[in-house]
Chains A and B, each alone.
Chain A
Amino acid sequence: MEILVCVKRVPDTSENEIELNGAGNDIDRDDLVYSVNEWDNYAVEEALQIVDKVGGSVTVISVGDDESEEVLRREMAMGADKGILLSDDAFENVDGRGIATILKAAVEKGNYDLIFTGAQADDGAAQVGGMLAAMLDVPFASLVNTIEVNGDKLKIGREIEGGNQEMYEIGLPCVLSIQTGINEPRYVGIRGIRKVASVEIPTLGAADLGLDAAALGASAARVQRTDYFLPEMGDGAEILEGSTEEIIDKLVELLKAKGGLK
């Protein structure tokens, strides 16, 4: 099984405090720590486990700049066999559709049975996987939390509300977006990363992929973010003040009144 996993380098929300910058038009990126998007990491682990069972190889690919290489290398340290970086000035500020277009061109240069993306990334858009599948005209499923390989078909489960799962049979090739919790990703330490430090990661630009730079750039993006801001805080909750005893007394009163105590 030849599996391609699309990964993205994102600011780590759990290790950063995301704040607006001084000018108020972007987040403060000075002290940010970046790492691989958590969903993508689960996807790579899943790919590795599938290949462990049925053979094949795992390729990781990312659309980004030079710094995205660090993320590709980390996933290769985890076990991915190959890494590909898609980088070009023309790729800056493309929208989700643009990313999918770039990835599609790269997919067509290879011969993959299965393509994974993470269910979502830092912008919470959860869009690239579905778009890529539509562009490649292959079946798609999102929020996948279980995969079973049955020859040239997969039996997959999607996470829906109530902790329930939708089970599907899906043919290959297909695109799946992977939900967290599908597995327990293995640990990658500094040593693993040092081991792959000198492995070559080919970089492909717009020309290599046969893409028209003009069709991709900022001007072609139909969806554009104009700024970041913090919404006005509405009234919100009434914050109880006073000593702990006073607060507890007030709270108990309220709970009684609202039927919270039986």
Chain B
Amino acid sequence: MAQIFAYILHKDGVVDDTALELAAAAKKIDAGATPNAIVVGAGDALDGVCNDMAASFGEVWKVANDAFTYPDAEIVRKLLANILPADSIVLFAHEHLGMDLAPGLSVKLDAAFVPDVVDIEGADGSTLKLVRQEFGGAVSAHVTCDASQGAVMTIRPGVFAADESKSAGGQVVDKSAEAGDFAATRKFLEIVEAEAGDVDITKSEVLVSCGRGIEDEENLEIAFDLAKAMGADVSCSRPIVDAKWLPKARQVGTSGQTVKPKVYLACGISGSFQHMGGIKGNPFIVAINKNAKAPIFQVADVGIVTDMLDFLPELTEKIEEL
């Protein structure tokens, strides 16, 4: 089995949850393997990150360079193409950096590419057995990948439990000198932050969240009524923001806000992974949806199969009576 590498996401010295999930994924490819970590960045905080990762990976390849103060996928890709050995298996988290970087990397490495992997069944020699989803999550698919000339994979965040074993006892290897030429014709300018909304849902403890089931902008009132009765805030999924019924600041999801509430009411939300990807911690999730087959019922703690437009006002009334 070729060497497995995991690209570590980090920001301001804090390692992203996906790092240890990738370690777990590597173990599923090959239980006996010791994956390596790749940490690219700049500044003082970098060493801290590398040391953190050393416990979970065989080697932590550190590449420090001011150019990587902000991880621009175009230059990181060139760097990785320079330092990765042939036929490696490289794992990324399936998020915006991975999506930007990985497909092109697979071409540069002449490796196979499998995106958004949701499960790994193992390896048969150099053939990896993986699971993906298609059609917006409606069906799953078994996928085989010929990794004999290497493979680049992006792993869906949250599908693998983080490997906290810290049993690898690895070392930090400074590969900065081997970085080579990584100049690119794409230049990072800045981050433009989303307009702050009137409410910061990332700090909310209880959220009443609406999806397509709300049907009409005017019906949002029933969600706000319930939230008021509960002392909660109102959030939503992407379609509500796309329709401009609520500001982006209230969107929960991988392209919206990441929330860590204690209680999360998912009303009329189907439960796509992009939405659920915005929910961290382990909140008590109540799903209210008129479609009994909605994926949300898989991840919720408690479910009610009903039309949220009928149910919410009644729930509000009951709570107000208390």
Contact = CB atoms under 8 A, between A and B. Distances in A.
B134 interface: yes
Interface stretch (B23-31, B164-172, B247-255): B247-255
B302 A168 contact: no
A255 B284 CA distance: 9
A143 interface: yes
B221 interface: no
Interface stretch (A70-78, A82-90, A220-228): A220-228
B304 A143 contact: no
A133 B136 CA distance: 25
Contact of A170 (B144, B186, B248, B319): B186
A100 B110 CA distance: 13
Interface string A127-152: 11111011100111111000000000
A130 B104 contact: yes
Interface in A216-261: 222-231, 233-234, 236-240, 244, 247-249, 251-252, 254-255, 258-261
B287 A237 contact: yes
| A128, A134, A238: most-surrounded residue (chain B CB, <10 A) | A134
A161 B278 CA distance: 9
A251 B315 contact: yes
A258 B262 contact: yes
Contact of A163 (B184, B242, B248): B248
Interface in A1-32: 11, 13, 18, 20, 27
B112 A240 contact: no
Interface stretch (A52-60, A118-126, A196-204, A206-214): A118-126
Interface in B184-203: 184-194
B163 to A, nearest CB: 21
Given A163-B256, A259-B205, A126 B193 contact: no
B167 to A, nearest CB: 28
Contacts of B311: 244, 248
A160 interface: yes
Contact of A236 (B132, B190, B297): B297
Main secondary structure of the interface of B (DSSP, over half): mixed
Interface residues of B, number: 86
B144 A251 contact: no
B131 to A, nearest CB: 8
A234 B194 CA distance: 37
B106 A131 contact: yes
Contacts of B185: 138-139, 170-171, 174
A239 B304 contact: yes
B82 interface: no
A259 B231 CA distance: 11
B139 A164 contact: no
A237 to B, nearest CB: 3
Contact of B144 (A133, A224, A248): A224
Nearest to B134: A123
Interface in B242-297: 242, 248-249, 251, 254-258, 262-263, 265, 278, 284-287, 296-297
A222 B146 contact: yes
Nearest to A156: B186
A96 interface: yes
Residue of B74, B145, B265 most packed against chain A (CB within 10 A): B74
A124 B100 CA distance: 14
Interface residues of A, number: 77
Q: Which of B115, B133, B142, B258 has the most CB of A within 10 A?
A: B115
Residue from the set A127, A168, A229, A233 with the largest chain B CB neighbour count within 10 Å: A127
Given A163-B257, A249-B318, A258 B303 contact: no
Of B187, B188, B278, B305, chain A has the most CB atoms within 10 Å of the CB of B187
Most chain B C-beta atoms within 10 Å of own C-beta, residue among A122, A222, A233, A252: A222
Given A100-B107, A261-B230, A231 B96 contact: no
Contact of A160 (B96, B106, B133, B322): B96
B116 interface: yes
A97 B107 contact: yes
Contacts of B305: 239
Closest 6 CB pairs of A and B: A262-B231, A130-B103, A163-B194, A237-B303, A260-B263, A134-B104
Given A18-B135, A139-B186, A160-B96, 11 more contacts: A131-B106, A160-B255, A166-B191, A170-B186, A224-B143, A229-B141, A237-B301, A251-B302, A252-B319, A261-B319, A262-B231
Interface of B: 72, 74, 77, 95-96, 99-108, 112-116, 131-136, 138-146, 149, 184-194, 205-206, 230-232, 242, 248-249, 251, 254-258, 262-263, 265, 278, 284-287, 296-306, 311, 314-315, 318-319, 322
14 contacts: A126-B116, A130-B102, A130-B103, A130-B107, A134-B103, A223-B112, A223-B144, A226-B141, A228-B141, A237-B287, A239-B305, A251-B286, A259-B206, A260-B232
